[in-house]
Copies of this chain bind each other. A is one copy, B any other.
Amino acid sequence: MVRELSHFVDGELRAGTSGEFSDVFNPSTGEIAARVPLASHSEVAAAISTAEEAQHEWGALNPQRRARVLMRFLRLIERDIDELAEMLSREHGKTLADSKGDVQRGVEVIEFALGAPHLLKGEYSTNAGSDGIDVYSMRQPLGVVAGITPFNFPAMIPLWKMGPALAAGNAFILKPSERDPSVPLHLAQLLTEAGLPDGVLQVLNGDKRAVDAILTDKRVQAVGFVGSTPIARYIYETAAANGKRAQCFGGAKNHMIVMPDADLDQAADALVGAGYGSAGERCMAISVAVPVGKATADALAAKLTERVKQLRVGDTHDERADYGPLITRDAVDRVTHYIEAGVEEGASLLVDGRGLTVEGFEEGFYLGPSLFDYVTTDMSVYRDEVFGPVLFIARAATYEEALRLPSEHDYGNGVSIFTRDGDTARDFAARVNVGMVGVNVPIPVPIAYHTFGGWKESGFGDLNQHGPDSFRFYTKTKTVTSRWPSGIKEGASFVIPTMQ
């Protein structure tokens, strides 16, 4: 008998009623860990109704009181951190340390959202226009908003979405990945324990039907999404066609430029961590290493080969493991096909991770680390997001060529450069056509109080995630222009008529 998960609606776990389910695996063992109900259109609609109702009081609360609920929520996450990490690792497969990091990066956005009272301030101008006219603005909550989040960060991305949305006074509909729904469900329970009124956060599990139910419901004012680019495009377009605001973050192909003056050991260490960590299933993973000049490339390839061969793949409880299984068997197959394609397209396979078996976990979704050299821009393995434990070396003869690679790639999420030279770093940061830049930092995820957002095919919409932008996305501006006719202060005696 497989365990059956539920939705979280109106302050409580609630069984699905559609009769449809999806299997949730334990990627470390390959076993089915649970099954999750898929919400029907009417379940989504009902949850939105409750949310709409609940939002009125929540949105009218002064923002410091809302922030205090989040402050209590932080304490409860701290209390349950081990349980959350275990739950996350079991369904996702990442190492326990990585799972704690997943929760922690989400926590930081909740910490940022504690500043809601300040971040929600409008502007006030007196004597604007002409004498006696005041103009001021308020940022009001949108009402019911939604987040559709991916499997690879089942704690972080839901927290990034719900933190600012709730702090700003909205009700929030979360449709987490059906691959690893337990952590979002637990977070919802913690929020209720922290004092969030029932109905303000609704977690609905589901597939495309649930997504479409959200996208076409007129009462949902905004949708935030993180996932692959085709789905990001679909959601951006469909949300817009339904008059909503949307911010949709998609795939990536993050490059790391290694200049001849870089410390190559440092660069190689960074590449291995950023390329294979979490089995490469991160939108900010480094996928392409770009050494500049032949000498740099040869040395870097050698150092990488040595390091990659020593990587240890293990189940989530293996404390010495560098990374764990992929999310599904399909994912293993997809990445394997890309490795084959890389070989066929003529890239040089320095390390081959195919066919790995982890002892005692023979049915787990494991894949060893692969490393390619001499990858070129015409290859599918260069153009596509592989999303697995594969690192590609694309050699550049000069800095300008290296700069062009990420700038001209369809994706524009993150990019990094390793150099000691101030000029090179500055020129690169200013000119590269990518949204998030690292200088001697392999994974340039901005801290919570700055904002996260890729460019080109990696991001759609005009406001980023977390940081001040997130409060702009989840609120609407109301502007008031005010003037008063002369009244009681002149000493006039007037009688106010009654209304019929």
Contact = CB atoms under 8 A, between A and B. Distances in A.
A241 to B, nearest CB: 4
A62 interface: yes
A17 interface: no
A61 interface: yes
Nearest to A452: B479
A444 B132 CA distance: 14
How many copies, total? 4
A101 interface: no
A126 B478 CA distance: 11
A289 interface: no
Nearest to A440: B483
Interface string A217-241: 0000010000000000100110111
A500 interface: yes
Interface in A435-486: 435-441, 444-453, 455, 457, 460-464, 468-469, 472-473, 476-486
A360 interface: no
A132 B473 CA distance: 25
Interface stretch (A18-26, A117-125, A150-158, A170-178): A117-125
Contact of A119 (B118, B260, B483): B118
A197 interface: no
A207 B499 CA distance: 51
B74 A423 contact: no
Nearest to A493: B498
Contacts of A493: 496-498
Interface in A235-282: 236-237, 239-241, 243, 245-247, 259-263, 266
B481 A441 contact: yes
A430 interface: yes
Nearest to A247: B462
Contact of A484 (B125, B420, B447, B476): B420
Nearest to A229: B243
A60 to B, nearest CB: 6
A233 B63 CA distance: 33
Interface residue SS majority, chain A = mixed
A68 B71 CA distance: 11
A423 B488 contact: yes
A262 B478 CA distance: 23
A12 interface: no
A127 interface: yes
A53 interface: no
A162 interface: no
Interface string A415-443: 00001111111111110001111111100
B241 A499 contact: no
A121 B122 CA distance: 10
A496 B424 CA distance: 13
B222 A462 contact: yes
A209 to B, nearest CB: 22
A286 interface: no
A75 B79 CA distance: 14
- Kindly name the residue among A71, A122, A451, A455 whose own CB sees the greatest number of chain B CB atoms within 10 A: A122
A429 B482 CA distance: 10
A243 B460 contact: yes
Contacts of A441: 133, 481-483
Closest 7 A/B residue pairs (Cβ): A240-B240, A293-B499, A115-B115, A423-B484, A423-B487, A493-B498, A439-B482
16 contacts: A75-B75, A121-B123, A124-B138, A128-B447, A138-B430, A245-B462, A259-B489, A420-B423, A422-B422, A422-B439, A423-B489, A424-B489, A439-B481, A445-B481, A462-B473, A463-B463
